[in-house]
Structure 1
C-alpha cells in the first residue's frame, strides 16, 4: 500500500484536559461478540497527534507469494483467531476457493422422483424439465425487471444515487444488480474541457471535498465554496464563509444538500491556524448556506475533524466527541457530554446507515466499539467490540457494515489497514475477518478519521480492493500493473474472478455504480488515463472515457499526485482536483499547478 502525502502542518494542537482525566474502561465481554449497547455520544479524551494514513512503522519482511497469475500452495484451515468466530481460510487472491453447490440456472439438476418411489417415464421427465425451465425463465425475468428500482435518499459526491462505500459512494450491498447508470458513450475519446488554477494561499491549505450536480462541479476555494459550470468552467456561484472549509461529507441528500465543516475565522499570520468548530449545510443547487452552528463543550466550542450524512441526520465527530443535527433545520439531535464510562464518539460513517466509532479508556489502553445507531435518537441498535490492539477504526460501509483497522499497528506501511471486519449491523456479530496484507493490497485509511478510506468498495455482498502494483507480463521497464480482487463478506474468502488492469495500467477504484465498479486506470507515459466500468460479478471492464495522450511536462492530468487528488466521474465527465494546495513557488518556471482539471467526451 502506497504512502500518501503527510497531513498539513496546521493541525490543531492536542487538546488537554477536557471534562477530566481519562479512566480505564469498564470490564466488558471479549471482542467478537455482541456487546450491550452503551450511550450514543461521548466524552472528550486526550488524543494523539494526527498520524495521517497510519503511524509509520518498519515494514515486515514480505512473505513469499506465488507469482501473479498462478495459484499458490493450498491453504490449510486456520485455527480460531479469537475474534468471536473462526477466521475462514483464504485462497491466494484471484483464484477459485472451494466449489459451490450446484444451483438452478447454472447446473443440471436431477429429475425429481415419482410418487411412491417409481421412476418417471422419459416422456414425463421431459415435460417436467420443460415446466421447470419455463418457471425459472419467468422468475428471472420478474427479478431482473424489479432489480434496480429502489431509490436511495443519499447520493455520492458525483451526484448519483449512492449507498455507503469508501471513495465516494456505492450500491446497497445487495447481491442482485442489473448494472449501473453509467453507459459507454459512442465516442470515448475525451479532451480537456477546462482547468482552474490554484488560488494563491499564504500557507498549506486544505481544500478537500468535491461534488457533481446536474449543472455544476462544486469545490472548496479560499474561505469559500465555488460552483463551476459543468461543461465550460465558468463560475456559477460563490459562497463566502467565515473561514476555511475543514471537513466535507461524502454523502449528499437527494435534493443536493451537503454538510460541511468550516473555521469560525480567517487564518492570519504568523500562526496560520483556526479551530474547526462550525457545522453547516450547503444547498449545492443555489449556493446558499442553509444553516450553521457550533457546539459548546464547557467554556469552549467543540472541535470536529469530519462530518457525514445519513438520512436526515448530519453527524460530526472528533476528539471532543460527537454531535448530530437535523439536516433541514439544524436543530441538535445530540451533543458531546460527560458520561460515566469516559467514552466519546470519534466519528461516524454515513450513507444508508449511521455507524459510530466510539473510543473508551486511555491512549495506551483504548477500547474501540463499533455502534450501529438510530440516526434520529443516536441510540445504539447493535455493538461490536474491536479486538485488542486496535486504537482506531474506519467505516468502509454502513450497510452492509464493513470496518477497517490496523490491529496492533502491524500493517507497517502507513496504510492504516491490516484487516477488514464484516459485521452484522443488526446483531453486532462478526461475520468474517479479512486479512489485507499490506505488501499485497493498496487500499488505505487515515487512521484518525472514521470515514476516510479509499480504494476499498463494498457492493454485491463483496469487498473490492486493488492489489499493489507489480511487474507485468511483458517484463519491460515501466510495465507495472495491478488487479481488483473481491472478497465475500459472508465468508471472507476471495472470489474466483478478478479484474486485470493490463500491462502498464493501474486500477484506482473510485466508487460503486449499482453492481459495477467505476475505476480510474492510471496510464503509461505515452497514453491517457481511462475511466472504466467493471462488472462486479464477471469483473469484465467497459471503457467509458480515455484522456488524450500527452507526453509534455505540462500535461494537466499528470500534474496531480493520485495519493493527494480527488477523482470524480459522472456521465462522460471526469474531474481531478487537489486536496491540499501550497504557497506558490518563488519561481514560476515549473509546470503549472491546478486546483482542478475537467475532461469530457464529445456530447
Structure 2
C-alpha cells in the first residue's frame, strides 16, 4: 500500500464496505507517470445480506449447493413470476417492459398493462411527458436536469444504519474483510473484440474473427465439449473468472491456470499453468488474439494478486508476465483489468498502470496519493476510466476517455451530482449505468461526443436490469449499437409461465422503441451486436428443451431468427450454468455458444458447477 487508508466514513455497514459504496477517488486529469497523484480506494466488500436479500448490484457470487429453483435468468420459470432480484408480483399499471410509476427520481411515468403501453404518438413508447419536459425524457429528481438526489441520511443505502448501504464501520475494516473474502468479489467476464468489425488487416492466422459468430450452417445444435471442474479440497471457494472465444478456441480459467479447447474437435488444445489463483481478467481480446489476466503470486490461500500476464489464445503461450508495480498488497476485490487498442490497463488499490500487449513495455503508471483516483477502466475500441474525487459522502465523479499510450485524459464527462457509483456499459458509443440516491443501479445514460447527456433510461422498480455489479466494467446483460440500447426486463408472469422481453431503447431519446419476447417458459438476455443484429441467449425450458441463440433484427422491430437450438439432452447441464445469475454472460463466436462459471467450491463441483464450461455448435 503506498499509503494507509483514510479514516472510515461515519455511515458504513458493519464488517466491510457496501458493494456499491464509492470506492474512492480517481484523477480528474490523466497525467504523466511522474505527475499523477490520485487518492486511495477501498475494495468492494461483500455485504451483510444473504444472496436472496441482495440485488445484483449488492450480491457477491455464492456457490449454492444446487441451482435456484425460482425465477431469475436461467432458473426454471415458476409461477408466480419474480425470481432473482425482481418483485414477486407484476406491479399494477405499467407491466414489464415499460415504466409505470408517476413522478419522482428514477420512477418513470405510468403506462398500462404488459407489453407496449397505448400512448398518444407524441408521448413516445411508455413515457407520457410532463409539462415542459423534452420528449422521451423521464423527470429528473430534485435539482433539475443534471442533478440527482443525494442519498438519505444514515449511509449510502436507503435504509440508514443497519440497512443495506448503512452502518458504522469504515474502509479499514472493508480492506481487511475483502482480503479474507476476496474470492467472492470477482471480475465479470465476457467477450468483446477490440478491433472494429471491418478490420481484417492485423489479425494473426486463426486469430479472433472480427465478424466471427455469423449464422451457423444449421440451427440444429449439438454439445461440442464440457470442461470438468477440478476437485476443490479447501472449504474456501475458488475464483475462476475469465472466458474467451476466438474462431477456433474457447479458453477458460481454471483454479491455477487457463485451458484452451479446440472448438471444432472438442479436444483440449493447450493448457497454461499459472503461479496462483486467477484474480481478474480482461473481458476483451486484442486484435492479435491476446488477452490479459492478474493472478496470485503463489498457490498459497492468502497469496496476493501481484502478477499480470498476457496469454496468446491461439497457441496457448504466455507472451509475458510481470509483477504489478510497487509490490503493494493486492486483493482480488480491488483489481480491475481491461484491454484497448493493444494496451493493457490495470487498476488496483494503490495505483494504475498501462502496458503494451505485445511486449509488456510499461507505458504509464500512477500512484494514488491525492484527492482523486481511478476507480477502474473499461476497454474495447476506446479506453475509458471512471474517476472519483472529493469525500466519500459527497463524491465528484468523472468519466474520461484515456489515451492508451500515455494514460492522459482526452475527453471528460461530468457525472451529475448525487450519483454514488458509475459503471461503463459501452465506450463507443458512450453508455453508462449509474446509482443515484441508492446503492443499486437506478438509471442508464447515453452520452454524446459533445460530452453532454443525451438520454436517461430509468430502471424503475427493477423493471429493466443491465446486470451491473460493483466493478466499473461489470454490466453483463446489456448490449449497445449506434441506434439502440438493448436491455432485458425483469422476469414476470406470462400467460402460462414466467417470461421476459428485451427492450430496444432509442440511443438519442431513451424511449423504448420496440420489444422482443422470450416466449413462454423462457427468459433471455442480450449477448452482443453482430452484423447489424442483436444476438440473444434464451435459457432452457423447465420441460427439458435446450437453450437457443436467436438473432433479433432491429429493422424488423424485434423479429427473431433462431441461429442455434441446443439439444434437450444437455438442458440440465446447460441450466446449471444459466441458473446462477446474469454475472456470467454467455459468449457467442463463429456460430458457437459457450457458457462458463466464475466461482466453484468443494460442494459445487459435485452439483451445479460440475463443469467449468460447455460449448454448443451446429450439427
Q: With structure 1 as the length reference, what TM-score do the two structures score?
A: 0.72
Name the CA shift for 1:585/1:327 in 2 (closer, same or farther; >3 Å). closer
Tell me the equivalent position of 2:403.
374
1:263 aligns with 2:296: yes
User: Do the aligned partners of 1:229 and 1:236 also contact (CA within 8 Å) in 2?
Assistant: yes
Name the CA shift for 1:544/1:433 in 2 (closer, same or farther; >3 Å). same
Match of 2:592 among 573, 577, 599: 573
User: Do the aligned partners of 2:604 and 2:610 also contact (CA within 8 Å) in 1?
Assistant: no
SS in structure 2 at match of 1:391: strand
SS in structure 2 at match of 1:409: coil
Deviation at 1:430, TM superposition (A): 1.6
Deviation at 1:22, TM superposition (A): 9.7
CA distance in 1, matches of 2:342, 2:210: 15
User: Do the aligned partners of 1:575 and 1:597 also contact (CA within 8 Å) in 2?
Assistant: yes
1:556 aligns with 2:556: no
Deviation at 1:434, TM superposition (A): 1.8
Measured against aligned partners, the alpha-carbon deviations of 1:318-367 in whole angstroms (never above 9, x if no partner) come to: 33232111112212222222555x21111111001011011122322322
Name the CA shift for 1:546/1:525 in 2 (closer, same or farther; >3 Å). same
Tell me the equivalent position of 1:286.
315
Q: Which runs of 5+ in 1 are unaligned?
A: 1-14, 24-35, 88-146, 163-179, 411-415
Match of 1:76 among 124, 129, 137: 129
Which range is displaced more, 40-49 or 433-442?
40-49
Deviation at 1:396, TM superposition (A): 0.5
CA distance in 1, matches of 2:117, 2:39: 49
Name the CA shift for 1:314/1:194 in 2 (closer, same or farther; >3 Å). same
1:50 aligns with 2:45: yes
Tell me the equivalent position of 1:90.
none
SS in structure 1 at match of 2:366: coil
1:253 aligns with 2:318: no
1:529 aligns with 2:547: yes
Name the CA shift for 1:537/1:288 in 2 (closer, same or farther; >3 Å). same
Tell me the equivalent position of 2:258.
225
Match of 2:242 among 198, 209, 215: 209
CA distance in 2, matches of 1:59, 1:500: 19
1:161 aligns with 2:210: yes
User: Do the aligned partners of 1:154 and 1:352 also contact (CA within 8 Å) in 2?
Assistant: no
Tell me the equivalent position of 2:183.
none
User: Do the aligned partners of 2:546 and 2:570 also contact (CA within 8 Å) in 1?
Assistant: no
SS in structure 2 at match of 1:504: coil
Name the CA shift for 1:558/1:311 in 2 (closer, same or farther; >3 Å). same
CA distance in 2, matches of 1:516, 1:326: 33
1:418 aligns with 2:442: yes
Name the CA shift for 1:531/1:441 in 2 (closer, same or farther; >3 Å). same
Name the CA shift for 1:392/1:283 in 2 (closer, same or farther; >3 Å). same
Deviation at 1:550, TM superposition (A): 3.8
Tell me the equivalent position of 1:183.
215
Figure out how many residues of one structure are paired with residues of the other and give that number: 476
Measured against aligned partners, the alpha-carbon deviations of 1:85-140 in whole angstroms (never above 9, x if no partner) come to: 699xxxxxxxxxxxxxxxxxxxxxxxxxxxxxxxxxxxxxxxxxxxxxxxxxxxxx
Show the 5 A alignment for 1:338-487: 338-340=368-370, 342-409=371-438, 416-424=440-448, 426-447=449-470, 449-472=471-494, 475-476=495-496, 479-487=497-505
Deviation at 1:204, TM superposition (A): 0.7
Name the CA shift for 1:339/1:213 in 2 (closer, same or farther; >3 Å). same
Tell me the equivalent position of 1:544.
563
Name the CA shift for 1:398/1:233 in 2 (closer, same or farther; >3 Å). same
Tell me the equivalent position of 2:14.
none
Which range is displaced more, 216-225 or 54-63?
54-63
CA distance in 2, matches of 1:420, 1:400: 13
Tell me the equivalent position of 1:491.
509
CA distance in 2, matches of 1:226, 1:591: 20
Q: Which runs of 5+ in 2 are unaligned?
A: 10-26, 48-55, 60-84, 95-111, 134-138, 149-195
Deviation at 1:214, TM superposition (A): 3.1
Deviation at 1:64, TM superposition (A): 3.6
CA distance in 1, matches of 2:303, 2:555: 47
Name the CA shift for 1:397/1:596 in 2 (closer, same or farther; >3 Å). same
Name the CA shift for 1:59/1:19 in 2 (closer, same or farther; >3 Å). same
1:327 aligns with 2:357: yes
CA distance in 2, matches of 1:439, 1:232: 42
CA distance in 1, matches of 2:230, 2:375: 32
CA distance in 2, matches of 1:347, 1:591: 31
User: Do the aligned partners of 1:457 and 1:463 also contact (CA within 8 Å) in 2?
Assistant: yes
CA distance in 2, matches of 1:559, 1:250: 22
Name the CA shift for 1:585/1:280 in 2 (closer, same or farther; >3 Å). closer
Deviation at 1:151, TM superposition (A): 5.3
Tell me the equivalent position of 1:593.
610
Show the 5 A alignment for 1:46-125: 46-47=41-42, 49-51=44-46, 53-55=56-58, 64-65=93-94, 66-72=112-118, 75-77=128-130, 78=133, 82=143
CA distance in 2, matches of 1:154, 1:457: 24
SS in structure 2 at match of 1:532: strand
Tell me the equivalent position of 2:29.
38
Structure 1 residue ranges, 4+ long, deviating more than 3 angstroms after superposition: 15-23, 39-42, 55-64, 78-87, 147-155, 301-304
User: Do the aligned partners of 2:293 and 2:309 also contact (CA within 8 Å) in 1?
Assistant: yes
SS in structure 1 at match of 2:575: helix
User: Do the aligned partners of 1:154 and 1:252 also contact (CA within 8 Å) in 2?
Assistant: no
Name the CA shift for 1:580/1:385 in 2 (closer, same or farther; >3 Å). same
Deviation at 1:218, TM superposition (A): 0.7
Q: With structure 2 as the length reference, what TM-score do the two structures score?
A: 0.70
Measured against aligned partners, the alpha-carbon deviations of 1:504-534 in whole angstroms (never above 9, x if no partner) come to: 2211211111321111111322211101111
Deviation at 1:225, TM superposition (A): 0.8
Tell me the equivalent position of 1:103.
none
Deviation at 1:245, TM superposition (A): 1.4
1:243 aligns with 2:276: yes
